[in-house]
Structure 1
């Protein structure tokens, strides 16, 4: 059939039925509504075209072939499934085909919850619906708290009940169980067995320790017995062998020995000594028959979140100076949980397909922080066959904690004197340990001290919970039980402090539930949005799909469309990654089913980005063919504009909510102002008319081929710095423009209006590119041309404040590659930085020599503007320096927060953030561990160095300007 490429699927179906009428068996075809088309899409998978309003050019089948099939169920349900599949770029039939009971159970649960959610939406009043979909954004005044305007409601009433020891009268001698039973009876006579008062701040003060919680007392026998059910068992044993493993991928493996190493981890803590296999050699397919790995730990002492990590590596002999040594070369790794998602100890045979890419600097060559998902590309992956033995005729279930909660209605808190358990000396030492930064390592003696004084920690250092958790001996179930009981009476942390508990180092289910409970205090949309990037990334650390963090994110996203918008894009932009593909697809499906009205809005954005990608690919193709022909380059631009004017493109790209900011409506493209940028990936510069902005145009840059996630992280941190400064009554006029990754190496960047680069400002003022960088008047004259009188005074003050903010921010974050084309100035005076491809001190070098020799950019032409063009105007420069120092000290106070946010991004795959060593730069730049006076002295030295060495910046800028002038 000849059909227009702009035709809708419905129109094609009408044409088909019209032609089919001439065939003899047409009556047997049945009703048109009972059929639909299928195709093979660009991702080489079958796609059901249930949504018949889509055009053929949007569907883009891999081949010009559509298959007619009969619908199997209700059309409305299939239509919704089809829309969700297109929206999340993963057909739901793929999820249907996953033979995993955990996936099925999670989808079933989310389906029920989504139906309940949509029923609540239908019951909403008009105002409630508006609040959820279009929550207002109010910019806070410096020094004030941020509010949404709709959430200024009184906090929930909290009642604290305190019983003195004198109120529980017992005869001596007394056991802890006697006290607990008496207090329990007293409580139940007043309240009732079902009231979960343990969640409040009820405290019974007694003079006994918590150690009895894991003793053989009848009151709590159930949990101990659950552990004791397997306590008499021998060590954990695992049988394994490798079958049909393509180890020949390493050229010399046929003549080497190959070994398997396995370790049991709780977070990054190794629970016992790793087990190592015997060596296998001589073949590309290595097989160990009847081999057993034994771990020196009892099954009963395995924590609930134990990971079993494997590494396969080659052992090669190396002779050096008549000494023979063995070198180990990693081949593959894979991880799995010891308990399944229901808490049942795994038994039987499983096949694990390994990953071949190893992170740097792995201890024991094991990768506990890596995913527990197996490699989906099974054809070329090493297959590790594992056998978990059966220890009992009945399934062994990890003890559920809900019964402990029921029996811990009265939570015991141990009174203490400042000199108990070791005296004042140890409490001083504890204080010193607790005040260290998050990157400081704890030695075993310090861990023992923290654990011994854990109740002191709760009373005096509640924010030190992460250090206490690192001090728990997770390989002892008695310590685990004590920790979990103590957790029930631990004071709530602030949401900012609680973020650290979502790090990989704290995998315990109840710790993470506690952390999410603290995050629920973030009632404001703005605050949750600030940390959403990290909250999505730490989903990678969750071993099971159904977890507290997933529920929290879905709940908030479905209650507030702005949160839902960014949750959708953060998940969708990484759904192509094999390690998270299924997990993120399941969460996206759950969000869409519970936010059906939002689907069409998001679908429009997805289609628009697909069109922009097509335009970008067209330009790349044209510029490659005509690389050195200026005339042909003009033709490429004309082809781009012709493409954008086509109805299929203009309709899709118009009247959509901006992915960068869903509160902004992009009405229509101003085609004449659109262009593509002259860099390798040919980013598109798209200009929109905006009816809601008084006729002003809005610009967005579409990038295809560049990973924007590092830029997105840096801008998020700049936004946080701006917030922290404003909370301290310091507004440094930061410009954290919008940036959003939308797919595999694709995304959008906001164009800041009325701004130009330092390079363009300098080049405009001089006829000679080499001299432009040394013209100190160029920048001030540029501002004078755009501002006069009081407006010029304001512009210079804006420049001074923003320059101070970015000097401190770029120094603290170690932002490199600072040439004159990635520093910009607005006509109103605000200076700001763009393009954050190098962070955390990863400065560019050439021939082994660092090109950037200053801690941050502070050139004499910047100072010339700050001093209003007056050489001896030291008062203004003194104010600028004071702004810098004040801003630096404010960031120092929040050093642990910055470390936490970067640590939570370690598994995101950013090129310059791969290990804790990368984050060490923040500790050094913020001078954590030093006093404010020492830190300020260090910063002043860096400030003076930036001034003294600013000439080197000018030389670099001159070279950049000359190179740019030659290219043009």
Structure 2
């Protein structure tokens, strides 16, 4: 055993030389092999034994769990072990954890994906110089599984049933317990829910009870999932009995768990299965069952409740789900057209569903983009209808991307539909895929099996384009702390690393920098409580000037944008912000940008995923407007979640908040919000002479863009500290903690009573400081109306992208009510004329009620002034 005396020793060089120098004086020295036959090992942060090779950095970068190194005889393939160790550290999960799962599906997936990714890496080695450059530096990125078994599902016409018993695990309840179970295909319930009898907990509740479902085994769809909920039964208060209503019992949810009926090899499950349950319930409507939840068991087996179920053996031999062979296939047409083109998204009546199903071949030939409507009305609990639908899908024309995105929703779990959908998405260009990557990663959570078409599609494209690979890595890595997805995301990350060893080293450098930022942030949170800000800032600089910090924070690709090289950290320009979590403000010298500074904000303690989504949508709006020749000078700055409530935000240099501009031009916080000349005077000071007119035009265009964007997305909590202006004149919004109409309230009253922010000082700038410059103002109004109508044309795209993000679990995007806000703001049920009239009313309201915004800003300024 060796206890390292110096933190800066290179483990494989410094320490090994010291040990060997001392070893030659020991009596058994002549029995040792050559020094190369031995290697130091330690226990690393992922609880894995790690060998320390020449390629490793200092011990302080490796961060052994204990300050003890062990010298052992080298075993096995050195390169292979080093790569495995690096992958473990990079993805935040030891690869030995995947081995310890002992799951055949995991093992098959790892072997298959390893081969898939290593083949991609081998092909990349054969690329021409030009193709290799395009992979590493992609231009203009911004604006199969085993064949199905044949033959019918030949099983007796029996109903499916399971036997259930319970191991209490983490449940402590003196109340009667009940298990509820339901069979689902996507969001559709296949038959009536069933419930167990109540069991009073004495020591261990045991049901050993059979739950029968009213559906034949031959009618089970391939992607059927069995959902369980455990709840306690509470008697309602006695006074309820005095009412006319019958006395009821209340259900107190305790835990839930889901499991697939068929395994990943298409075989109907049999035998006993122990399911460790989840205790966090979705927010929506207090439902007990959670079909959209993961089908993984809770890995925290010690504290989780455990439900033991037994699938019966229906035949002596295994039962497999069949493949479906390819099949063949007026006033009714007119009626069909009206149903399919209906503007409102109301559910179809039964006779309309019958007509749609009857005319499914006409839909394929004449209205192929209406596939989603046909799939929704398909009876997935009737195997004849399923067979006909799957057969029809074999001859369905490829869908446009917009319609294919809709089919990624949880409502369409069938694997044939999934395969068809991914095939339609293969035509996405790299910049289009980049635009939708956030949603595609979230949709992975809907997948029931590890090996799926979406995973292979994403890995394929990521290994062909380094920038897509970079963001795929961080979108996955940022959720590795979530137990429900850690296995799936970890396996995909492992596969990506094996297919891109060189990129892995670049990502490790970024990971080291983020670790140093987190350590620095933790240090400042403690220091700022004991010292003044100047003193804490000085301590921050002393810390950052250590060699370990300077090395980690220099010469790395920026995680926000890998085309930007953060060459050298400018310590004297770095600081921290005053908000509760003390975000770091770090400035780098960027040599490739002529030595200009690049700023990033590191946040630790705030969830940036909602900001990421909002900025993605603003960037998409910018792209759609530019496609129509309308450049509204938007500033969709970079934002990236990198871990559990940690992430980075791009600093928009040479800009300031409205609040600061107003306060600097006023003597008192109370009057600052009403100083209508402050913004114009600030722009004049930054844009002297003829440059002012261009700055005002930049302000006008960007103000129009953000008025429309914030209205459509329902962005709330708008005040003068989260609206900024660049010195060139461009206005932009920051901090998107509330959207989709989730506005702040005080004493139950909505504090934000305007559709969007359009204050008189904004109008004063737009009108160039002239009171009656109506021509300039009407141009601004025209920009707003054009921008709004362009977004309306793409309303379905926004609906689909937000619907797919429901998988992310954001508090303000959890159910259909949240999506309804978008339908209303874009007036999707109305004609173009009605929608334009609707927007004009909102525009006039924003202008008329702008004084309320100023009062809110006044309150914000005074409150902020009092805090300082």
- Structure 2 counterparts to residues 302-317 of structure 1, below 5 A: 302-317=220-235
Q: Please tell me the root mean square deviation across aligned C-alpha atoms, in Å.
A: 1.9
1:460 aligned onto 2:366: yes
Distance in 1 of aligned mates of 2:48 and 2:606? 26
- Give the structure 1 partner of residue 202 of structure 2: 283
Structure 1 residue 763 displacement after superposition: 0.7
Question: Match for residue 419 of structure 2?
Answer: 513
Aligned twin of 1:268: 187
Cα deviations by residue, 1:21-80 (Å, 9 ceiling, x for unpaired): 443334445343333344344455554545652211112233322333444311011111
Show the counterpart of 1:99. 102
Alignment of 1:591-740 (within 5 A): 591-626=496-531, 630=532, 633-740=533-640
Cα distance in 2 between the residues matched to 1:945 and 1:624:
45
Q: Which moved more, 1:490-499 or 1:676-685?
A: 490-499
State how 1:131-146 maps to structure 2 within 5 Å: 131-137=134-140
Match of 2:336 in 1: 427
Aligned to 1:150: none
Relative to structure 2, which stretch is displaced further, 614-623 or 53-62? Answer: 53-62
Displacement, 1:488? 1.9
Residue 4 of structure 2 is aligned to residue 7 of structure 1? no
Question: How far apart in 1 are the matches of 2:224 and 2:364?
Answer: 26
Shift of 1:967: 3.1
Q: Distance in 2 between matches of 1:364 and 1:947?
A: 42
Counterpart CA distance in 2 for 1:99 and 1:330 is 31
**SS at structure 2 position matched to 1:247:** coil
**Map of 1:825-840 to 2, 5 A cutoff?**
825-840=725-740
Q: Is the 8 A contact 2:168 2:204 kept in 1?
A: yes
Q: Hey, what's the Cα distance between the residues in 1 that align with 2:32 and 2:446?
A: 51
Q: Secondary structure at the match of 2:463?
A: helix
Which stretch shows the higher mean deviation, 85-94 or 113-122? Answer: 113-122
Instruction: Report which stretch shifted further, 500-509 or 904-913.
Output: 904-913
Instruction: Note if contact 2:284-2:814 (Cα within 8 Å) is conserved in structure 1.
Output: no
Pair 1:934 & 2:834 matched: yes
- The SS at the match of 1:613 is helix
Alignment of 1:92-241 (within 5 A): 92-137=95-140, 225-227=151-153, 229-230=154-155, 232-241=156-165
Instruction: Indicate yes or no: 2:470 matched with 1:565.
Output: yes
Deviation at 1:665, TM superposition (A): 0.7
Partner residue in 2 for 1:156: none
Equivalence for 2:460: 555
- Are 2:72 and 1:73 aligned? no
Aligned residues: 856
Cα distance between partner residues in 2 of 1:616 and 1:12:
32
> Of residues 232, 241, 254 in structure 2, which corresponds to 1:322?
241
Within 2, Cα distance between the matches of 1:675 and 1:617? 14
**1:468 Cα deviation from its structure 2 partner:** 1.0
- For residues 771 and 128 of structure 2, the distance between their equivalents in structure 1, rounded to whole angstroms, comes to 64
What displacement does 1:302 show? Answer: 0.7
TM, length-normalised to structure 1 = 0.86
CA distance in 2, matches of 1:880, 1:555: 45
Correspondence for 2:817 among 906, 917, 920: 917
Distance 1:80 1:2 in 2: 24
1:391 to 314, 329, 333: 314
How far did 1:423 drift? 6.2
Task: Report if the CA contact (8 A) 1:758-1:824 is conserved.
Answer: yes
Give, in angstroms, the shift of residue 362 of structure 1.
5.0
Q: Partners of 1:102 and 1:731 in 2: how far apart?
A: 50
Q: 1:732 to 1:119 in 2, by over 3 A?
A: same
Q: Render the CA deviation track for 1:413-435: whole Å, top value 9, x for unaligned.
A: 5xxxx33xx464x23542444x4
In the alignment, structure 1 segments of 5+ residues that lack a partner are: 141-221
Which of the residues 379, 386, 408 maps onto 1:502? Answer: 408
What are the within-5 Å matches in structure 2 for residues 365-404 of structure 1? 365-401=288-324, 404=325
Q: Is the 8 A contact 1:50 1:82 kept in 2?
A: no
Residue 757 of structure 1: CA displacement?
Answer: 0.4
* CA spacing shift, 1:899–1:47, aligned 2, 3 Å: farther
1:377-411 Cα deviation digits (max 9, x unpaired): 1111110001001111111111134xx2xxx3xx6
Once residues 97 and 32 of structure 1 are traced to their aligned partners in structure 2, the CA distance between those partners, rounded to angstroms, is 33
Q: Distance in 1 between matches of 2:169 and 2:502?
A: 48
Moved more, 344-353 or 65-74: 65-74
Give me the whole-angstrom Cα distance separating, in 1, the residues matched to 2:257 and 2:70: 40
- Could you tell me which residue of structure 2 aligns to residue 412 of structure 1? 328
- Deviation, 1:364, is 5.6
Task: Give, in whole Å, the separation in 2 of the partners of 1:2 and 1:114.
Answer: 39
Q: 1:9 to 1:916 in 2, by over 3 A?
A: farther
> Deviations along 1:871-929, whole A, 9 cap, x unmatched?
00111111111111111111111111111111111121212112222111111111111
> Unpaired segments of 5 or more residues in structure 2?
144-148
**Does structure 1 residue 63 correspond to structure 2 residue 77?**
no
Over 3 Å counting, the alpha-carbon distance change for 1:634 and 1:25 in structure 2 is farther
CA offsets per residue over residues 742-787 of structure 1, 9 Å max, x none? 1111110001111110001101101111111100000011111111
- C-alpha change, 1:453 and 1:6, in structure 2 (3 Å) is same
My pick for the range that moved more, 617-626 or 41-50, is 41-50
Q: What is the CA distance between 1:120 and its match in structure 2?
A: 1.2
CA deviation string 1:548-588 (max 9, x = no partner): 00000000000000000000000001011100101011101
**Residues 328 and 854 of structure 1, relative CA distance in 2, 3 Å threshold:** same
The question of whether the paired residues in 1 share the 8 Å contact of 2:176 and 2:232 is answered with yes
Deviations 1:346-385 (A, max 9, x none): 0101100000111123576210000000111111111000
- 1: distance between equivalents of 2:141 and 2:112? 36
1:354 and 2:277 correspond: yes
Aligned mates of 2:328, 2:475 — CA distance in 1: 43
CA distance in 1, matches of 2:650, 2:816: 31
Contact in 2 for aligned 1:49/1:82 (Cα 8 Å): no
Could you tell me how far apart the structure 1 residues matched to 2:29 and 2:863 are? Answer: 70
Q: Which moved more, 1:595-604 or 1:107-116?
A: 107-116
Q: 1:761 aligns with which of 661, 666, 672?
A: 661
Deviation of the 1:115 alpha carbon: 2.6
Q: CA deviation at 1:125?
A: 1.7
The partner residue of 1:246 within 170, 189, 192 is: 170
Output the TM-score relative to the length of structure 2.
0.96
Q: Does the Cα contact within 8 Å between 2:698 and 2:728 map onto a contact in 1?
A: yes
Check whether the contact 1:51–1:79 (CA below 8 A) recurs between aligned residues: no
Check whether the contact 1:473–1:479 (CA below 8 A) recurs between aligned residues: yes
Within 5 Å, give how 1:580-595 maps onto structure 2: 580-595=485-500
Cα displacement (A) at 1:237: 1.1
Question: What residue number does 1:145 align with?
Answer: none
Range with bigger deviation, 659-668 or 68-77: 68-77
Provide the C-alpha distance between the structure 2 equivalents of 1:488 and 1:321, rounded to a whole number of angstroms. 57
> Structure 1 residues 843, 423: closer, same or farther in 2, change over 3 A?
closer
Match of residue 797 from structure 1: 697
Question: 1:529 maps to what in 2?
Answer: 434
Give, in angstroms, the shift of residue 620 of structure 1: 0.7
Q: Post-superposition shift, 1:668?
A: 0.3
Flag the 1:642–1:489 CA change in 2: closer, same or farther, 3 A. same
Residue matched to 1:449:
355
Secondary structure, aligned partner of 2:670:
helix
Distance 1:77 1:282 in 2: 52
